[in-house]
């Protein structure tokens, strides 16, 4: 459906994007995951036609993306962009008219999206009177009102509380079920895990890895992780080395990559006297994948990627 091939974009003296490539199929929710400045919004803006790539192509159904084909895109930018004195219905009608919908067709689409997004109660309420969560839903509804084949969502739950975020997630899951191809940018690992069929991890403008969540987890050479707090880093590294375990340091904590499952007692026994304060075992998470494929280790590097949570 949507193919992005070799996108590159310079921003000042750095590469905002470098050889970014991925494909999104019909009915698939594809996540672009990365910290602030990783290139997620730049990628979406190029697909949407707001920015021009220095190199690379974007195709829709194997045809180059033209102005006409872009009418098949639905875009919800990071900022909520609505007309505050217009009602929910008026906002939707306005944008539907821009996409060429008229009369009965327009009415049916507006009614449909109002129903699907649960906006019926606020149909005649002005956008300025809605809470942040409802505004975000309306913002999303505007992107969907013309039934786009591809939906681009840039941080669709930014600034929402947990409950409102889960409501938006529910709507996004429905999009995949309606056969739309969805490209979703997020810096929330939980969001990517909850919604995405496949994920591309962007780091410093490059696709560091992509695949299903399961495929990505397999990129970490471990069956399980041990998260450790201890005082004696050299000794910990020496003991882990002797046991053939890889060590990663993130902030004040160390993560050991365990090739097979074990217990806390057994691991503590094998490490011996290394001044352990705490030790916890956990499955390989998307965060670990991100840190691993992004090559992020040490406090300084971790601090340079502050927004990924």
Partner 1 sequence: MSGAGLAVSARVLIEFGRSRRVLALWVLFPAAMLVLFGWVRADEMGLADAFTVTAPGILVGAGLFFSCLGGPISVLVVERERRTLRRLLVSPLDGGSYFLGIVVAHLAVAAAQVAFVYGLTIAVGGRFLGSMALGAVILLLSVLSYVGLGFFFAGKVAKSAEDVNGVVAGIGVPLLVLGGTFFPADDLPPVLRSVAQADPVFHMNQAFKAVATRGAGAGEIQWNLALLVVLACVAMALGVRSYRRLLDVERSS
66 contacts 18 by C-beta, under 8 angstroms: no
Nearer to partner 1 (CB atom), residue 66 or residue 282: 66
Query: Rule CB under 8 A: is residue 102 a binding residue for partner 1?
Result: yes
**Which residues neighbour 201 within 8 Å (Cβ) at sequence distance 6 or greater?**
33, 34, 207, 208, 209, 210, 216, 289, 290, 293, 294
Site pattern 153..192 for partner 1 (x: CB under 8 A): ----------------------------------------
Number of residues that bind partner 1 (CB under 8 A): 27
Q: Specify whether the CB–CB gap between 139 and 120 falls below 8 A.
A: no
Shortest CB 198 distance to partner 1, Å = 24
Stretch near partner 1 under the rule CB under 8 A, chosen from 71-79, 111-119, 260-268, 296-304: 71-79
Strand order of the β-sheet with 63-64 is 14-24, 2-11, 55-60, 63-64
> By CB under 8 A, is residue 82 in contact with partner 1?
yes
The residue range among 89-97, 116-124, 155-163, 263-271 that interacts with partner 1, by the rule CB under 8 A, is 89-97
Residue 89: half-sphere exposure toward Cβ, Cα within 13 Å: 12
Are 176 and 29 in contact, with CB atoms under 8 Å apart? yes
From residue 16 to residue 55, what is the string marking binding to partner 1 with x (rule CB under 8 A)? --------------------------------xxxx----
Quick one: CA dihedral 99, 103, 106, 110, positive or negative?
Answer: positive
The contact set with partner 1 (CB under 8 A) reads: 48-51, 67, 70-71, 73, 75, 77, 79-86, 90, 94-95, 97-100, 102, 142
């Amino acid at each position: 459906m949507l193919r992005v091939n070799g996108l590159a974009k310079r921003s000042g003296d750095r590469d905002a994007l470098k050889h970014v490539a991925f494909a999104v199929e019909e009915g698939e929710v594809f996540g672009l995951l990365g910290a602030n400045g990783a290139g997620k919004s730049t990628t979406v803006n190029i697909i949407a036609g707001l920015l021009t790539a220095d190199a690379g192509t974007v195709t829709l159904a194997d045809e180059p993306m033209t102005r006409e084909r872009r009418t098949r895109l639905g875009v919800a930018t990071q900022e909520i962009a609505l007309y505050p004195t217009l009602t929910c219905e008026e906002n939707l009608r306005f944008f539907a008219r821009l996409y060429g919908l008229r009369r009965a067709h327009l009415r049916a689409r507006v009614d449909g999206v109002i129903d699907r997004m649960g906006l019926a109660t606020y149909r005649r309420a002005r956008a300025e009177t809605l809470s942040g969560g409802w505004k975000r839903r309306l913002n999303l509804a505007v992107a969907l009102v013309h039934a786009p084949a591809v939906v681009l969502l840039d941080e669709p739950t930014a600034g929402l509380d947990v409950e409102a975020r889960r409501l938006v997630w529910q709507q996004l899951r429905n999009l995949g079920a309606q056969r739309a191809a969805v490209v979703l940018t997020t810096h929330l690992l939980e969001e990517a895990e909850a919604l995405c069929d496949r994920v591309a991890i962007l780091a410093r403008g490059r696709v560091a890895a992509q695949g299903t969540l399961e495929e990505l987890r397999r990129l970490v050479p471990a069956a399980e992780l041990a998260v450790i707090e201890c005082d004696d880093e050299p000794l910990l590294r020496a003991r882990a080395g002797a046991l053939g375990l890889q060590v990663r340091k993130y902030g004040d904590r160390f993560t050991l990559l365990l090739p097979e499952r074990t217990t806390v007692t057994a691991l503590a026994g094998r490490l011996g006297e290394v001044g352990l304060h705490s030790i916890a075992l956990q499955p390989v998470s998307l965060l670990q994948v991100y840190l691993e494929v992004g090559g992020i280790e040490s406090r300084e590097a971790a601090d340079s990627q502050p927004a990924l949570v």
